[in-house]
Structure 1
């Protein structure tokens, strides 16, 4: 068993791929890939739309259901973030504990959630990672019929109908039926459904 510390040569990738069909124009499926370094095998962790369908599974949560880099039927996957060092170590601890701790193991809804992207954002929140999936991660902000949470220097208020996500000096988005519209400040760019972040490595 590989013991993960802040100095271990480990990494965690956040990967995404377009969802099949027309919805893939604006929506992606997200998952994590763990690499503990050394002789250990890479691991793919994700929530899938059907439960207990392969790999190692806990209802809708799956480990190694598919190859780490494989898309989901609408083109190749991409790396949105890659973390190393302390962030990777913390993410690995949270991901590996998620079969006992993720609150939506037995529930999946394409819209408004919880779905695969809800799981990804939950992991990031638990690991206190400030980077967020891009606007194509529909469902990442699912907080039930009405919910709110404090974020880094900001707040998220979310419902299936309307919501707002604000981080001071970073971005502001308004959600209509969970679809985001807004802008980021540094760099300035418009945020809209289907926008994909550029690959962002070495966090």
Structure 2
């Protein structure tokens, strides 16, 4: 077998296997007793965000990602950021929504930790306490500087993942590690094909998010082919794969969030 066929075979396995795992974890038609559409899909709180009223003097920042609605959920996620300053008793949420208006950056479009059309969000970053008010200042500045506030393309971007990746680049203190199935996080215009990765702590070269490579402490080493991410995380050993995001050790930020939330609820 020639080298080209071997490479093609490996790429096919790397694509089909993660998709099969994603399909097995979320088989079609098993999540609801009645037919579900975007109109009646659950959007209630997932109970992940700590009660803001119980932490009146504590600033909080969290970044979430949940499977997108419908068949796209087998391939991609939708992320958003929430925060509250010390002294606040409610959260502010920001994400990019591709429908319902010309300006795609939305404030408080849904509940801070609400299910995304039936999909439970996972925590990508969780910061609380000292220094977080200053982090929120930088997050708000990053939101204001987002270069595509009136532009949206589901594939290859700019989209909701492009938006949150922009925040991560502008606020390295977030330590944001976006999963491999966050399609659009690697979107870069032709005028700026090289720059910081979405963690703000690595480097990236990418052509419109369709072909590129990323290397960083948070991301490890990841290759992008037609918007699909393949790589390995050395910091918290795991494979970075399309469809499922990662296979291996949990992300550290996501790992500590449930315990921290439980502690906050107990205060």
Residue deviations 1:10-65, cap 9 Å, x none? Answer: 0100011110112212211000011224343111111111254xxxxx81111111
Counterpart for residue 164 of structure 1: 213
Are 1:34 and 2:80 an aligned pair?
no
Residue deviations 1:118-160, cap 9 Å, x none? Answer: 1111111111233321122111111124611145664201124
Alignment gaps of 5+ in structure 2:
1-56, 261-267
Q: Mark the CA change 1:81 to 1:168 in structure 2 (over 3 Å): closer, same or farther.
A: closer
Counterpart for residue 116 of structure 1: 160
2:182 is aligned, of 131, 137, 142, to 137
Secondary structure in 2 aligned to 1:13?
A: strand
CA RMSD of aligned residues (A): 2.6
Residue deviations 1:96-128, cap 9 Å, x none? Answer: 335532111011110111111111111111112
Check the 8 A contact 2:182/2:245 in 1, yes or no. no
Separation (CA, whole Å) in 1 of partners of 2:115 and 2:218:
34
Are 1:84 and 2:132 an aligned pair?
no
Separation (CA, whole Å) in 1 of partners of 2:80 and 2:224:
23
Greater helix content: 2
1:11 is aligned, of 43, 56, 60, to 60
Runs of 4+ residues deviating >3 angstroms: 97-100, 150-154, 200-203
Check the 8 A contact 2:176/2:218 in 1, yes or no. no
2:69 is aligned, of 8, 14, 20, to 20
Greater strand content: 1
Separation (CA, whole Å) in 1 of partners of 2:218 and 2:194:
20
| TM-score, normalised via structure 2 length | 0.63
Number of equivalences: 191
Counterpart for residue 150 of structure 2: 106
| TM-score, normalised via structure 1 length | 0.82
**Bigger Cα Rg:** 2
Secondary structure in 2 aligned to 1:23?
A: helix
Separation (CA, whole Å) in 2 of partners of 1:139 and 1:191:
15
